[in-house]
Amino acid sequence: MRSLGAPKTVVERLIAAFVLVLVAAGPLIFNDYWVNTILTQTFLIGIAAASLIFLSAYGGMVSLAQTALYGIAGFIVGNMVTQGETKGLNLGWDPTLALVLAIVMTTVIGLILGSVAARSAGIYFLMITLTYAVIANYFFGQVTLVSGFSGISGIDRYTPGFVGEVVAHPNRLYYIALVAALAVYVLIRYIVRTPFGISLQGVRDEPIRMGSLGFSPALHRAVAFAFGAFIASIAGVLYVWWNGQVDPQTIGLQATIDLLVVAVIGGLGRIEGAWVGAFAFIVINNYVREVEVPVLGGSFNTIIGLIFLAVVVLSPGGLMGLWDRITSGILGGRGGGSHRIAAGPPKAAPETGP
Amino acid sequence: MGLQLASARVTRYLPLAIALGAAGFALLWVLVIAEPPSFEPNAKATWRTTTFGSAIDDPASFLRILLDAVTFAGLLFIVASGFSLIFGLMRVVNMAHGSFYLLGGYIAFEIQQNMTGQGFSIPGEEVNSWEWIAPVLVAAACVAVVGLVSQQLLLRWNAGQDLRQALITIAVSVIVADQVIAHFQGGRAASVTWPGWLNRFVDLKVWAVEYSLARLVVLALGVGVGVSLWLWLYRTRTGMVIRAGVDDQQMTSALGVNIQKTFAIAFVVGSALAAFGGVVGASQGNIASGQDGQWLLNSLVVVIIGGLGSLFGAAAGALLYGLVFSFSSTYLPTTGDNCCTQYSIVFTFILLALVLALRPQGLFGKVR
């Protein structure tokens, strides 16, 4: 994706190092509101957005089910750890066990959902995953056994020992989210260089040719989707620790679109875009909430819609694409490959059977 | 390789066997297996206990649910056919379809309020046919304009980039849904009132079933939309051009057809159908902010099952989805507090998964 050793890479590494030092010393520099609300949320929403960007950039699959998967992980944790004062199963299990089970179960659910959608790509994949998202939303809204309309609350009181009481020690969760975000970033960068990652990119570009070479496009997509679910589940677990509650609105259409907005603002072509987009979105969300839109009327959503529209129309690569374009102008390196990806793979038709 | 060949045969016939088995069991369940609740003291509900029992136990309820399913399918078809038309011709997935549905319903509500000069809920007998039809026409026209403007301003120059177009329509959907909340009743539930003469039940003379005339009219409207679309697409020159455009856009354009004009027409008709569906939905039940997602889901499920861009697919998808939707919410066992009718949404997913496993392009979809 990038020309290694170019001046641009050096600049990017310097910026990355600076940002890392800044966030590592975060609690010393920023006030509590920024640390607990904006940055912690940026890390965990960024992880969820990274799963979306991974599927889009390397698998050619824009998935709208990532919010649903992240919510499913949250609901699993909520049902397992709480002890009787909220909706759901209230199993009262050990929080660490719940953490592991939530991630494993969500990954398996991702594998199943991925297998159903795996013979489609491009725009069809987007539609099928959107139906997953809406169905999951209705499922948790209707099934009172595991959630019901009001959802599960008080989850932050049952966190594993290493997280501790979230309200009393918010900085711990901040660092856990930071480490998780870094680990996810490194893991994705590693996965896309493995043979699986390479053949996944082959399936993205030339599914029919890859099929005739003996690779199964459907299998690659299903496994990639399961991996995306795995990453989303990490974000989901962090989310319920951070937020303390999860309800059907957490995975509603609004939230689904918000995550897509995060990924698109950041840029669907590069993993880093996930956290850039999450940061931009959350800052806008926190500071533009109360503003009335002039002329049109309407709320925050109209502003987000207009920003989203502007990004898609003017800079399909999002902020990272804009960065690539600016730096390639100044530093002379070749721009990133994000434009092509955001514009969609050229052939988005579903394939027929094997 | 040998393993792959063997598995190819399994993957081809296994989903078919599962789908047929599931459909067969569902049919048997509804017709024979289900049992009505027992009213004897100390009777315990079994796994077979449902609200109404099987079709043999209670044919009247069965007929009523069947009519519910078919009439709901009529509304589904009105909304989804517009979605499918736009996709078929332009390969644009109009994610704003649900928002257009909402916008149409609210515009009609406002117009009807002004025409009748009544308060929030209008007594049915005070609405005449014109006071229902005029709001429909205005709502359809307004939403058609919104659709046309978004298509001309935002989508036209992006032709062929289907993912980018989908993202643009999502942005439009977010803005429209928020504007609806800002300008119409704050997004609170509202309903359009049917003309007074529809407000009665008709005696079907079968098993003493009386059924809502309004719901039967919804079915008639759905069939009417279907027949009109068929006549338009298969019996007129514009329709011929649209079908040619669906099959080969570049060739049609090369033959001297103004394909851009055709695109605009399709977008106008598709958006107007969403608005029309919105008014019918608002008359039958109500309309409230948040339903945009529900109707986007409904349209998506119908066209994914039926096959994108196919008129017959939209009809078949609407019928199947309507049946599964209505029967799964009434014919599941009622064994305990938490079981099982609340799981009806799962059956929508099962339907989707089975169809996709059998035919990824949908029942009537073409392989492109």
Q: What is the 3-state secondary structure (H, E, C) of A274-329?
A: HHHHHHHHHHHHHHHCCCCCCCCCCCHHHHHHHHHHHHHHHCCCHHHHHHHHHHHH
Q: What is the pLDDT of residue A343?
A: 39
Check pLDDT > 80 for residue A5: no
Most confident of A163-172, A328-337, B348-357: B348-357
pLDDT in tens, B303-339: 989 988 788 999 999 999 999 998 888 888 877 666 6
Q: Tokens for A95, please give them.
A: 């929080």
CB contact under 8 A, A253 and B178: no
Confidence of residue A212 (pLDDT cuts 50, 70, 90): very high
Q: Which amino acid is at B287?
A: I
DSSP state for residue A334 in the 8-state scheme: P
**A143 touches B: beta carbon within 8 Å:** yes
**B293 touches A: beta carbon within 8 Å:** yes
Closest CA to B358 of B17, B3, B4, B8: B17
Task: Choose the mutation target among B94, B165, B178 for the interface with A, i.e. most A CBs under 10 Å.
Answer: B178
The average confidence (pLDDT) of chain A is 85
> Among A58-72, A214-228, B86-100, B123-137, which stretch is predicted with the lowest mean pLDDT?
B123-137
Q: What is the pLDDT of residue B2?
A: 43
pLDDT in tens, B231-246: 998 999 888 888 888 8
Instruction: Give bridge partners of residue B190 from the DSSP assignment.
Output: B287
Q: What is the pLDDT of residue A332?
A: 59
| Chain A residues 211-250 with CB within 8 Å of chain B | 214, 216
Q: What's the Cα-to-Cα distance from B243 to each of B91, B256, B309, rounded to whole Å?
A: 13, 15, 10
Chain B residues in contact with A342 (beta carbon < 8 A): 163-164
* A336 vs A37, residue with greater confidence: A37
| Chain B residues 157-186 with CB within 8 Å of chain A | 161-164, 166-168, 170-175, 177-179, 181-183
Q: What is the pLDDT of residue B124?
A: 64
Q: What is the pLDDT of residue A44?
A: 92
| Nearest-CB residue to B8 (from A264, A345, A354) | A354
Q: Tokens for B129, please give them.
A: 């046919």
**Tokens 């019901």, located at residue:** A148
**B60 touches A: beta carbon within 8 Å:** no
* A338 vs B353, residue with greater confidence: B353
Q: Which amino acid is at B70?
A: V
pLDDT in tens, A249-285: 889 888 999 999 999 999 888 899 999 999 999 998 8
Q: What is the pLDDT of residue A352?
A: 38
Chain B residues in contact with A139 (beta carbon < 8 A): 345-346
Q: What is the pLDDT of residue A219?
A: 93
| Chain B residues 66-125 with CB within 8 Å of chain A | 91, 93, 95
Residue of chain B nearest A263, judged by CA positions: B167
**A291 touches B: beta carbon within 8 Å:** no
> Among A3-17, B267-281, B317-331, which stretch is predicted with the lowest mean pLDDT?
A3-17
Q: Tokens for A42, please give them.
A: 């940026």
| Nearest-CB residue to A145 (from B8, B181, B338) | B338
Q: What is the pLDDT of residue A354?
A: 35
CB contact under 8 A, B163 and A308: no
Rounded Cα distance, B268 and B291, in Å: 22
Average pLDDT over residues B156-179: 87
Compute the count of residue pairs across chains A and B with CB atoms less than 8 Å apart. 154
Rounded Cα distance, B295 and B292, in Å: 5
Q: What is the pLDDT of residue B157?
A: 83
Q: What is the pLDDT of residue B118?
A: 65
- For the entire predicted model, the pTM comes to 0.87
Q: What is the pLDDT of residue A345?
A: 40
Closest CA to A136 of A22, A255, A224: A255
Q: What is the pLDDT of residue B197?
A: 81
